[in-house]
Amino acid sequence: MRNLYLFIPIAALLSAPGAVQADDILVSLDASSSLISPGQTITFTGTVSNLDSSIVYLNDCDVNLSGLSLEEDCSPFLTFAPLSLDPLETGIPSFSMFTITADLPYLDSLGVQSGSFDVLGGADPSGLNVLGSAAFSVDVETPEPSSVLLLLTACMVLALRLGPWGTIGKYKLQVNTRACPGRTILK
C-alpha cells in the first residue's frame, strides 16, 4: 500500500499538462546517411513533429559523433527550426538541421561513422530536456582524383618517355644542329 502512495504523485507529475518527456517530438532526417570526403562539409535536413498534447519549445540541439576529424555544427537548427511546436503539430517543411565537416588531413580511419542528433527543449523556453533524436551516419571515403590531376600525370609520363631523344611511334625526334641550328627535324 505504501508503494501506491508513492506511485500516485509521480504519475500525476508525469501526466500533468506541460510535462515534457523524452521522445515528445519526432525528428525525421531526409537522408540518414551520406558520403563525405576529407575537406568536405555536408548538411543534413529534416522535419520535426510534436507528438505531445501540449506545446513544446525547441531550445537547443546536440550532435553526437565519434571521431577526432569530424566537426559537428547544429547552428542551422537554431536558425531554421520553429521556436515552438503546437500540440500534435506536424507538417513542418524540411529545413537544415546540422552540418558535418571532415577535416583535412583526415586522421581517423576511413569508413562509416555513426552518430545521433538530439533536439533539446521543454514545456518552457528555458527547458533543456532531450525531446527527440535521430540516428545518422557518414561514410568517409577518399576522394577520386580530379581530371586535371589525371591529365597532368599523363603529360608527365609522356614527357619522361620522350626525354630529349625519345620516340613517338615510328618517328624519332632529333635535333640536327649542323644542318639547321635551332630546328627540330622528324626522321
Q: What is the pLDDT of residues 52-73, one digit of tens each?
A: 899 999 999 999 998 789 999 9
Task: Decide if 56 contacts 124 (C-beta within 8 A).
Answer: no
Q: What is the pLDDT of residues 91-148, one digit of tens each?
A: 789 999 999 999 988 888 888 999 999 999 999 999 999 999 999 999 998 765 555 5
The residues with which 44 forms a beta bridge, in sequence order, are 98
In the DSSP assignment, the letter for residue 9 is H
The Cα 178–Cα 174 span in angstroms is: 12
Mean pLDDT of 25-52: 94
Q: Reduced to 3 states, what is the DSSP secondary structure of residue 5?
A: helix
Q: Which one is predicted more confidently, 1 or 71?
A: 71
Name residue, grid cell 565537416. 101
- What is the per-residue pLDDT for 16? 36
3 has pLDDT over 80: no
Confidence of residue 21 (pLDDT cuts 50, 70, 90): very low
- What is the per-residue pLDDT for 139? 93
From 79, 99, 82, select the one nearest 25 (Cα to Cα). 82
Task: Decide if 35 contacts 142 (C-beta within 8 A).
Answer: no
From 165, 158, 160, select the one nearest 184 (Cα to Cα). 165
Helix (H) or strand (E) run with residue 117 in it: strand 111-122
The Cα 61–Cα 47 span in angstroms is: 14
From 147, 143, 145, 134, select the one nearest 35 (Cα to Cα). 143
Give the cell for residue 125: 523556453
The rounded mean pLDDT for the chain is 78
Domains and CATH numbers, the chain: 16-140 (2.60.40.10), 147-186 (no CATH)
Mean pLDDT of 139-162: 66
In this structure, the strands spanning 171-175 and 56-65 are: unpaired
